[in-house]
């Protein structure tokens, strides 16, 4: 084996060699952390000295003196049995197909060897000698160490840039990562990513769903970043589909699980899960534009959610960034039915009756809140599992309540325990100085003592009015009113737009309208100057909207350019596409050529000189004859057959 690269390490804290094996473990189990072209790995470890199944040919090759000499496995000090594992590398996209490699860990000599395997025509595996590499730890002197990457044959190494990275990457990127990890005190605050499901299945299903729903990015009508929200919901849907498939196998279920997404937002998660055959619906206080694009097979309901709303016929409740509903979802699931389960992805820090107040500062606020929501699940009688999702977010810890800690016959007792706990939390949050007044501990949980009474010499729980406790102090969001000028009457908006254009044109020193040699875009006025010319009734209406006049003018992007508090008529001849960067690429995906000419050109209809662009170069329609239908979210093949069933489900669940 030839040394490709070496890194010197200082170990004043005496972490080595233990931290080296922790670093190797990270590279073995989570290679995607270093190699971004991988989605993960599947590791199958064998008992020390035994061979992995199906690897007979490769294992026999290990017995050859030639290979053992190449790997440095012969001679004194190499008599101890090796730890053997089979690793399957999973690429983010296909091709290539997943690759197998045998991993040999020599703990005594601080060496781990990676033997890539290639399949023969007979379906057997043999070692791909040219791509064999080693990671080696050596102690050079006290507190001085080195990590090396060694190759069997650097000149014959074959790289595909994905499963087999270039030798330069191995000698620089991988080596630097291993050196860094080996000298760090690794504190794991949360569980490993995707620890409860198969990474291999996740990788395949995620790629399939990403391909299936990627067209939604192009027609995303919301102001939010489409790539982030679409692919995040695809990732969450992938996780749930695998979780539910595993549950059906464990419980022997034939029907796909039903669900309700509480606080469903844009509804995309509901859309994907419904399309994949799971009956369900989403509920949110505010309707989103994109809801209309999903079609009738996706059940979405605009309504407020109350803690007293129960869903006895539903298998799973989902809380995906559900804000103030987050602590209530385990409660609602527990009270809906004994068989109801929940999936939570907490984000904003809410308690039952307002913002969450920290109890201690030794943990991060996020870790403390996750622990608190876990505690809520335990109080409600759930065995709570924790996992980390693979999503583009810093808040990616999910909590899952699949099974109960009590018998169904104990439901009434547990219901009272939940009510006492919620009452205790309300008392806890009243004031910081009195936050523990009237509270005592039961099994580590804060419970209000005013729910107990003395009978003889014994203190027993009083009967608690659970319904009143759940609603006491909780103010569910009402149907949210849009205050960004989008809900204003169109006649009102049109009048304001025309009035502002007239003001900008009337004070212009440019060519008059009859002189068509120069297109008149008028003068530039401040928002204050424009407001002085609007009547009181108009100003009062705008005052009720967030951003007022400025928001209305910015909403009419086709007509106005608003910059640094000044307003001017937009001249589309000056428009230039942004420089090519990530956001430009997203804009191109979001607004494909098929989305042009879906609205009438305001200038063609209202400006004294018409549109400054000829129809061929204008993104808007010059007359109704040019109008195109807006793009819709494409329906997948399997959606068509489930439309009637989904609609029936909506009627039953509503």
Mean pLDDT of 246-255: 96
Which of 312, 228, 306, 214 has its CA nearest to residue 266?
228
> d(Cα 596, Cα 591) in Å, to the nearest integer?
8
Grouping H, G, I as helix, E, B as strand and the rest as coil, residue 224 is coil
Mean pLDDT of 274-290: 94
Q: Last residue of a domain, which of 414, 447, 474?
A: 414
Residues 105 and 238 in one domain: no
* Residue 649 domain-assigned (yes or no): no
> d(Cα 344, Cα 353) in Å, to the nearest integer?
18
122: CATH: 3.30.530
In this predicted model, which residue has the larger pLDDT, 379 or 457? 379
- Which stretch of 217-221, 387-391, 597-601 has the lowest confidence by average pLDDT? 217-221
Residue 114, pLDDT score: 94
* Residue 173 domain-assigned (yes or no): yes
* Residue 427 domain-assigned (yes or no): no
H-helix or E-strand spanning residue 459? strand 458-461
Residue 244, pLDDT score: 98
Contacts of 402 (CB under 8 A, 6+ apart): 247, 341, 382, 383, 385
| Residue whose token pair is 């705008």 | 542
pLDDT tens-place string over residues 26-70: 999 889 999 999 998 988 866 444 455 556 666 666 666 667 677
Residues 171 and 243 in one domain: no
Residue 515, pLDDT score: 52
H-helix or E-strand spanning residue 441? strand 439-442
Residue 412 burial by CB count (10 A; 0-12/13-18/19+): exposed, middle or buried?
exposed
Band of residue 652 on the pLDDT scale cut at 50, 70, 90? very low
Phi, psi of 148 (to 5 degrees): -125, 150
Residues 171 and 317 in one domain: no
Band of residue 490 on the pLDDT scale cut at 50, 70, 90? very high
Specify whether the CB–CB gap between 113 and 137 falls below 8 A: no
pLDDT tens-place string over residues 560-610: 999 988 999 999 988 776 565 554 555 455 545 556 888 899 999 999 999
pLDDT tens-place string over residues 622-646: 998 898 887 655 554 443 333 333 3
Band of residue 206 on the pLDDT scale cut at 50, 70, 90? very high
Specify whether the CB–CB gap between 112 and 122 falls below 8 A: no
Residues 156 and 246 in one domain: no
Contacts of 105 (CB under 8 A, 6+ apart): 24, 82, 83, 84, 85, 111, 112
Residues 207 and 178 in one domain: no
pLDDT tens-place string over residues 392-437: 888 999 999 999 999 999 999 999 999 999 988 876 666 543 444 4
Q: Last residue of a domain, which of 414, 442, 469?
A: 414
Q: Omega into 620 within 30° of 0, i.e. cis?
A: no
* Residue 606 domain-assigned (yes or no): yes
Residue 172, pLDDT score: 94
For the cut 90, the answer to whether the pLDDT of residue 458 exceeds it is: no
> d(Cα 120, Cα 140) in Å, to the nearest integer?
42
Band of residue 257 on the pLDDT scale cut at 50, 70, 90? very high
Residues 408 and 517 in one domain: no
Residues 236 and 93 in one domain: no
Which of 377, 317, 312 has its CA nearest to residue 341?
317
Q: Omega into 615 within 30° of 0, i.e. cis?
A: no
Mean pLDDT of 259-277: 96
Residue 379, pLDDT score: 95
| Average pLDDT over the chain, rounded to an integer | 82
Residues 226 and 131 in one domain: no
Residue 162 burial by CB count (10 A; 0-12/13-18/19+): exposed, middle or buried?
middle
Q: Convert 260-287 to b/e letters by CB count within 10 Å (16 or more is b).
A: bbbbbbbbbbbbbbbbbbbbbbbbbeeb
pLDDT tens-place string over residues 67-109: 767 777 666 555 567 788 889 999 988 778 889 998 988 888 8
H-helix or E-strand spanning residue 647? helix 637-653
For the cut 70, the answer to whether the pLDDT of residue 275 exceeds it is: yes
For the cut 80, the answer to whether the pLDDT of residue 278 exceeds it is: yes
Residue 449, pLDDT score: 37
Residue 476, pLDDT score: 56
343: CATH: 3.40.50.150
Specify whether the CB–CB gap between 285 and 477 falls below 8 A: yes
pLDDT tens-place string over residues 283-332: 999 898 899 889 888 999 999 888 889 999 999 999 999 989 999 999 99
Residues 245 and 282 in one domain: yes
pTM value? 0.63
- Which stretch of 306-315, 442-451, 471-480, 625-634 has the lowest confidence by average pLDDT? 442-451
Residues 254 and 213 in one domain: yes
For the cut 50, the answer to whether the pLDDT of residue 651 exceeds it is: no
Highest mean pLDDT (candidates 208-222, 489-503, 514-528): 489-503
In this predicted model, which residue has the larger pLDDT, 193 or 387? 387
Residue 401, pLDDT score: 97
Residues 100 and 154 in one domain: yes
Helices (H), 194-322: 199-213, 226-251, 268-275, 291-294
Q: CA distances (Å), 287 to each of 267, 339, 580, in order? A: 9, 30, 34
Q: Last residue of a domain, which of 148, 182, 216?
A: 182
Residues 397 and 511 in one domain: no
Q: CA distances (Å), 178 to each of 41, 143, 149, 394, in order? A: 17, 17, 10, 24
Chain Cα centroid distance, residue 323: 15
Residues in a beta bridge with 401 = 342, 384
Which domain does 498 fall in, by range?
Answer: 490-575+593-626
* Residue 436 domain-assigned (yes or no): no
Q: Convert 58-79 to b/e letters by CB count within 10 Å (16 or more is b).
A: bbebbeeeebeebbbbeeeeee
Contacts of 128 (CB under 8 A, 6+ apart): 115, 116, 117, 118, 158
Grouping H, G, I as helix, E, B as strand and the rest as coil, residue 572 is coil
Quote the number of domains for the chain.
3
Chain Cα centroid distance, residue 53: 36
pLDDT tens-place string over residues 321-372: 998 999 999 999 999 999 999 999 999 899 998 888 887 667 888 999 999 9
Residue 190, pLDDT score: 79
Contacts of 183 (CB under 8 A, 6+ apart): 9, 10, 11, 15, 16, 19
Specify whether the CB–CB gap between 488 and 466 falls below 8 A: no
In this predicted model, which residue has the larger pLDDT, 250 or 393? 250
């Amino acid at each position: 084996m030839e040394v490709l690269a070496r890194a010197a390490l200082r170990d004043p804290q005496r972490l080595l060699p233990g931290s080296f094996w922790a670093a190797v473990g990270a590279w073995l189990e989570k290679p995607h952390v270093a190699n971004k072209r991988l989605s993960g790995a599947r590791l199958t470890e064998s008992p020390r000295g035994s061979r992995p199944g199906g690897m007979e040919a490769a294992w026999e090759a290990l017995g050859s003196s030639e290979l053992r000499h190449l790997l440095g496995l012969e001679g004194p000090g190499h008599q101890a049995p090796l730890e053997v594992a089979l690793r399957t590398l999973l690429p983010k996209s296909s091709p290539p197909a997943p690759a197998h490699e045998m991993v040999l860990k020599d703990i005594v000599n601080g060496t781990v060897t990676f033997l890539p395997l290639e399949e023969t025509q007979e379906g057997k595996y043999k070692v791909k000698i040219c791509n064999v590499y080693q990671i080696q730890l050596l102690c050079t002197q006290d507190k001085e160490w080195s990590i090396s990457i060694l190759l069997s044959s650097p000149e014959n190494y074959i790289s595909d840039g994905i499963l087999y990275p270039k030798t330069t990457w191995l000698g620089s990127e991988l080596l630097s990562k291993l050196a860094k990890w080996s000298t760090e005190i690794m504190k794991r605050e949360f569980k490993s990513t995707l620890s409860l499901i198969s990474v291999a299945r996740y990788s395949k299903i995620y790629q399939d769903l990403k391909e299936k729903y990627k067209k939604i990015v192009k027609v995303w009508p919301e102001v939010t970043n489409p790539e982030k929200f679409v692919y995040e919901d695809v990732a969450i849907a992938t996780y749930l589909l695998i979780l539910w498939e595993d549950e059906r196998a464990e419980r022997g279920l034939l029907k796909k699980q039903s669900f309700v997404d509480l606080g469903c937002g844009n509804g995309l998660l509901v859309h994907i899960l419904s399309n994949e055959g799971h009956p369900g619906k989403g509920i949110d206080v505010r309707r989103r534009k994109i809801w209309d694009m999903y079609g009738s097979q996706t059940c979405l309901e605009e309504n407020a959610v109350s803690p007293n709303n129960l869903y006895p016929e539903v298998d799973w409740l989902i809380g995906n960034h559900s804000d103030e509903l987050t602590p209530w979802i385990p409660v609602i699931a527990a009270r809906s039915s004994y068989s109801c389960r929940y999936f939570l992805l907490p984000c904003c820090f809410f308690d039952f009756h307002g913002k969450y107040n920290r109890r201690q500062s030794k943990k991060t606020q996020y870790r403390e809140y996750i622990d608190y929501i876990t505690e809520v699940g335990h109080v409600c009688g759930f065995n709570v599992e924790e996992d980390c999702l693979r999503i583009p977010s810093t808040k990616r810890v999910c909590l899952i309540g699949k099974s109960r800690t009590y018998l169904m016959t104990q439901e009434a007792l547990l219901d009272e325990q939940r009510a006492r706990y919620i009452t205790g939390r309300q008392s806890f949050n009243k004031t910081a100085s009195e936050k523990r007044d009237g509270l005592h501990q039961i099994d580590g949980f804060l419970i209000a003592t005013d729910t107990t009474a003395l009978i003889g010499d014994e203190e027993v729980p009083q009967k608690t009015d659970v319904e009143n406790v759940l609603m006491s102090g909780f103010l569910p969001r009402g149907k949210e009113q849009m205050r960004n000028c989008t809900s204003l009457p169109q006649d009102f908006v049109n009048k304001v737009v025309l009035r502002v254009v007239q003001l900008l044109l009337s004070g212009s020193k440019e060519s008059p309208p009859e002189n068509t040699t120069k297109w008149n875009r008028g003068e530039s006025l401040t928002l204050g100057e424009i407001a002085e010319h609007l009547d009181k009734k108009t100003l009062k209406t705008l005052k009720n909207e967030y951003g007022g006049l400025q928001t209305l003018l910015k909403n009419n992007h086709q007509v106005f350019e608003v910059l640094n508090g000044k307003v001017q008529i937009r001249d589309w001849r000056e428009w230039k596409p942004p420089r090519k960067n990530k956001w430009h690429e997203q804009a191109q995906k979001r607004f494909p050529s098929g989305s042009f000419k879906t609205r009438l050109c305001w200038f063609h209809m209202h400006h004294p000189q018409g549109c400054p662009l000829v129809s061929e170069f204008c993104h808007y329609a010059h007359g109704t004859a040019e109008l195109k239908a807006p793009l819709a979210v494409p329906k997948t093949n399997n959606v068509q057959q489930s439309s009637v069933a989904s609609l029936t489900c909506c009627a039953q669940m509503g």
